[in-house]
Amino acid sequence: MKMKKDNLTILHQLKGVIEERDGDKYIKVGSYATSALVDFITIEYENLYNGTNPEMAERAGSYINATAPYIMANMSHFVENFLAGVFKSYTNPILESTPVSILFPID
Protein backbone atom coordinates (compact mmCIF):
# COMPACT_ATOMS: atom_id res chain seq x y z
CA MET A 1 0.00 0.00 0.00
CA LYS A 2 1.18 3.50 -0.83
CA MET A 3 -0.40 6.51 0.82
CA LYS A 4 -0.10 9.94 -0.75
CA LYS A 5 -0.86 12.97 1.37
CA ASP A 6 -1.24 16.37 -0.30
CA ASN A 7 -0.49 19.55 1.63
CA LEU A 8 0.44 17.91 4.92
CA THR A 9 0.85 20.46 7.70
CA ILE A 10 2.10 19.49 11.14
CA LEU A 11 1.71 22.05 13.92
CA HIS A 12 3.95 21.71 16.97
CA GLN A 13 3.24 22.99 20.46
CA LEU A 14 5.95 22.65 23.08
CA LYS A 15 5.62 23.50 26.74
CA GLY A 16 8.66 23.47 28.89
CA VAL A 17 10.57 25.00 31.75
CA ILE A 18 13.90 26.76 31.98
CA GLU A 19 16.50 24.96 34.06
CA GLU A 20 19.76 26.51 35.16
CA ARG A 21 22.92 24.38 35.19
CA ASP A 22 26.52 25.54 35.52
CA GLY A 23 25.47 29.15 35.00
CA ASP A 24 23.64 28.47 31.72
CA LYS A 25 19.91 28.18 31.08
CA TYR A 26 18.46 25.15 29.30
CA ILE A 27 14.94 24.22 28.16
CA LYS A 28 13.36 21.01 29.37
CA VAL A 29 10.28 20.04 27.36
CA GLY A 30 7.42 18.91 29.57
CA SER A 31 4.81 18.33 26.90
CA TYR A 32 4.92 18.17 23.14
CA ALA A 33 1.71 18.12 21.13
CA THR A 34 1.19 17.98 17.40
CA SER A 35 -1.78 18.35 15.13
CA ALA A 36 -1.71 17.15 11.56
CA LEU A 37 -3.78 18.61 8.75
CA VAL A 38 -4.03 16.95 5.35
CA ASP A 39 -5.85 18.55 2.42
CA PHE A 40 -6.25 15.35 0.41
CA ILE A 41 -5.21 11.73 0.74
CA THR A 42 -5.09 8.88 -1.77
CA ILE A 43 -4.23 5.26 -1.15
CA GLU A 44 -2.81 2.95 -3.82
CA TYR A 45 -2.85 -0.78 -3.37
CA GLU A 46 -0.40 -2.96 -5.20
CA ASN A 47 -1.79 -6.33 -6.19
CA LEU A 48 -5.05 -6.06 -4.26
CA TYR A 49 -6.82 -9.46 -4.18
CA ASN A 50 -3.54 -10.97 -5.35
CA GLY A 51 -4.35 -10.00 -8.94
CA THR A 52 -7.20 -12.51 -9.16
CA ASN A 53 -10.04 -10.00 -9.48
CA PRO A 54 -8.92 -6.68 -11.04
CA GLU A 55 -12.50 -5.35 -11.32
CA MET A 56 -13.17 -5.94 -7.64
CA ALA A 57 -9.77 -4.46 -6.78
CA GLU A 58 -10.64 -1.30 -8.74
CA ARG A 59 -14.00 -0.94 -6.98
CA ALA A 60 -12.48 -1.57 -3.55
CA GLY A 61 -9.71 0.94 -4.24
CA SER A 62 -12.22 3.58 -5.36
CA TYR A 63 -14.34 3.02 -2.25
CA ILE A 64 -11.34 3.22 0.07
CA ASN A 65 -10.12 6.44 -1.56
CA ALA A 66 -13.61 7.96 -1.34
CA THR A 67 -13.72 7.23 2.39
CA ALA A 68 -10.02 7.92 3.10
CA PRO A 69 -10.60 11.43 4.54
CA TYR A 70 -13.09 10.01 7.05
CA ILE A 71 -10.78 7.14 7.94
CA MET A 72 -7.89 9.54 8.49
CA ALA A 73 -10.07 11.89 10.55
CA ASN A 74 -10.79 9.00 12.93
CA MET A 75 -7.13 7.96 13.03
CA SER A 76 -5.61 11.45 13.30
CA HIS A 77 -5.48 11.35 17.11
CA PHE A 78 -3.25 8.25 17.03
CA VAL A 79 -1.06 9.71 14.28
CA GLU A 80 -0.66 13.00 16.17
CA ASN A 81 0.30 11.23 19.40
CA PHE A 82 2.84 9.11 17.54
CA LEU A 83 4.37 12.15 15.84
CA ALA A 84 4.52 14.05 19.14
CA GLY A 85 6.43 11.16 20.72
CA VAL A 86 8.90 10.97 17.83
CA PHE A 87 9.53 14.71 17.72
CA LYS A 88 9.85 14.95 21.51
CA SER A 89 12.44 12.17 21.55
CA TYR A 90 14.62 14.21 19.15
CA THR A 91 13.88 17.64 20.60
CA ASN A 92 14.58 16.93 24.27
CA PRO A 93 18.25 15.90 23.85
CA ILE A 94 18.94 18.97 21.71
CA LEU A 95 17.24 21.47 24.00
CA GLU A 96 18.53 19.93 27.21
CA SER A 97 22.14 20.02 25.99
CA THR A 98 22.21 23.39 24.22
CA PRO A 99 22.10 26.60 26.26
CA VAL A 100 19.25 29.01 25.53
CA SER A 101 21.83 31.71 24.73
CA ILE A 102 23.06 29.63 21.77
CA LEU A 103 19.58 28.63 20.60
CA PHE A 104 18.23 32.19 20.77
CA PRO A 105 21.11 34.68 20.57
CA ILE A 106 19.98 38.19 21.47
CA ASP A 107 22.91 40.26 20.14
Q: How many domains does the chain have?
A: 1
**Domain limits for position 36:** 2-103
What's the pTM?
A: 0.60
- Residue 74: HSE in the Cβ half-sphere, 13 Å Cα cutoff: 4
Along the 107 residues of the chain, how does pLDDT read in single tens digits?
A: 677 777 878 899 999 999 999 999 999 998 988 888 877 777 777 777 787 888 888 888 888 888 877 877 777 788 888 888 899 899 999 999 999 999 989 86
What CATH number did the domain enclosing 66 receive? Answer: 3.15.10.30
What pLDDT score was predicted for residue 99? 95
In angstroms, rounded to a whole number, what is the distance separating the alpha carbons of residues 47 and 51?
Answer: 5
> Taking Cα atoms as reference points, which of 107, 96, 94 lies closest to residue 20?
96
